[in-house]
Amino acid sequence: MTSKTKSSIERMRKHIEEFPRLLASHPIEDEILKKCRLASKKGIDGICLLGMGGSSIANQYVIALLRERARIPLLLVQDYTLPGCVTKNYAVIAVSYSGNTEETLAAFSEATCKGCDVFSVTSGGKLAELHSVKSKIPVNIPPRAALPLLLGKVLPMTETLCGLPASNLIPLEAKLESYRKDWKSSSVTIKEFADYIPLFIGAETMAPVAYRAKCQINENAKREAFFSQLPEANHNELEGFSKDAKCRLRPVMLRSNHERMEIGKRMNATKDILDDLGYDCIVLRAPKGATQLGEMMALTHYLDMISLILAERNDIDPMTVPKIERLKGRLE
C-alpha cells in the first residue's frame, strides 16, 4: 500500500469515527429556525429538498423520517428542474456540500425566479454567494462524510418548516458510541462482505440507509454495490434472482424494529425465497430500543465503516473519486 493510500484511509477513518460527534457539533442557527418558523406560520404548500449525491442523502433521510408526520408534501429533487407543481408558496432547501453542483444550482435558480422561500446548506462555492437563508458547514470534508453535519441542519429546518418540533440530536452521540462497542461482538464480519457484490435491501426508514450503504461502497471502496427497496422490489426484482448469481451477489437486508408488520412479513418471505435459491443473505437488525433516527444513524455508521474496511483490504484510496471528478471535468 502506498503512503498516500494509507494516509487517505486514515483520513476517512477519522471522518467516519467522528460521525457521532458531528451530528450535533454544528447545530442549526437560532435565527434560521426563526425564519423557518415564520415561513411555516405564514403557510407553505410544500417543501422541496434539492441536492445530488452525498448531499442528497441527508434529504432522503429527512423525507423518510417525516413522511408520515408532515402535513405538507416533501419533494426530493435530484435534477436540474423543479416539478411543475412547485409554486412561490413552496419552501426550497438547496443542499450542496461544495455549493458548486450544477443540477442543484439550476433548480435553486428556478426556485428563486419563482419567488419561493429559499434556504441553503453548504460549505461555500457559488451557492454561498446566492441570496437565501444560509446555513454554513465546515470545509474540507468529502460530501459523503459530511452526512451528519448536513442532517443536523436539514432535519430541524424541515421539521420547523412543517410546524413540527425540532429533533434533539445531542443524545445520539453517546448512543452511537455505545452501539459502536456492540459491533465488536457482532456476528457479521467483514469476510461476509468481501468477495461479494452486496445488494442492500431496505424498506421505509431503512430504504435510504440501504441506498447510502450502496453509495458508500461505490465511492469509498470503488466496488459494485446495489440497492433495492421493498415492497416495490417484491413486484419485479424478486423474479430476476437466479441460482447463477448466488456466488457473486450477497443480499444484505436492513431491518428496523419499527417496521410495519407487512414489511416484516415481506422481508422474511423474500429471505426464504432467496435462501431456497442458495443465496447467503445477511440480515442486519437495528439496535433494540433505538428511535427511528437512532436506528438509521446506527446502521449508517456501521456500514460506513464496512465501506472503509473494504477499501483498506483492497488498497483503495477512499478519499478521492477520480471517475466522478473526470465526469464533472468533461461537463465544464
Distance (Å, whole) CA 106 – CA 88? 16
Dump the DSSP string for 106-139: HHHHHHHHHT-EEEEEESSHHHHHSSSEEEE--S
| Of the candidate residues 32, 77, 254, 321, the single one contacting ligand F6R (CB under 6 A) | 321
Q: Is there a catalytic annotation at residue 219? A: yes
Question: Residue 46, interface with ligand F6R (CB under 6 A)?
Answer: no
Q: How far is the CB of 304 from ligand F6R (least distance, A)?
A: 12
Q: Is there a catalytic annotation at residue 26? A: no
Q: How far is the CB of 145 from ligand F6R (least distance, A)?
A: 7
Contact positions with ligand F6R (CB under 6 A) in 64-103: 96-98, 101
Minimal CB distance residue for ligand F6R:
53
Question: Residue 55, interface with ligand F6R (CB under 6 A)?
Answer: yes
Task: Tell me how far apart the terminal alpha carbons of the chain are, to the nearest angstrom.
Answer: 33
Question: Residue 120, interface with ligand F6R (CB under 6 A)?
Answer: no
- In total, the chain counts a number of residues equal to 332
Q: How many residues belong to the site for ligand F6R (CB under 6 A)?
A: 15
Residue 192: Cβ within 10 Å count: 15
Contact at 8 Å (CB) between 158 and 47?
A: yes
Please identify which of the residues 103, 159, 219, 312 carries the catalytic annotation: 219
Return the bridge partners of 122, or none: 96, 136
Q: Is there a catalytic annotation at residue 232? A: no
| Interface region with ligand F6R, contact rule CB under 6 A, candidates 27-35, 39-47, 49-57, 131-139 | 49-57
Distance (Å, whole) CA 228 – CA 11? 30
Distance (Å, whole) CA 162 – CA 176? 27
| Of the candidate residues 20, 46, 54, 202, the single one contacting ligand F6R (CB under 6 A) | 54
| Interface region with ligand F6R, contact rule CB under 6 A, candidates 51-59, 108-116, 224-232, 251-259 | 51-59
H-type helices in 134-220, by residue range?
147-161, 170-183, 206-220
Q: Binding string to ligand F6R for residues 140 to 179, with x set by CB under 6 A, is what?
A: --xxx-----------------------------------
Distance (Å, whole) CA 235 – CA 278? 20
The C-alpha cell that represents 189 in the structure block = 464480519
Please identify which of the residues 131, 235, 288, 332 carries the catalytic annotation: 235
Residues near ligand F6R (CB under 6 A): 52-55, 96-98, 101, 104, 142-144, 219, 321, 324
Report, as residue numbers or ranges, the catalytic residues: 219, 235, 328
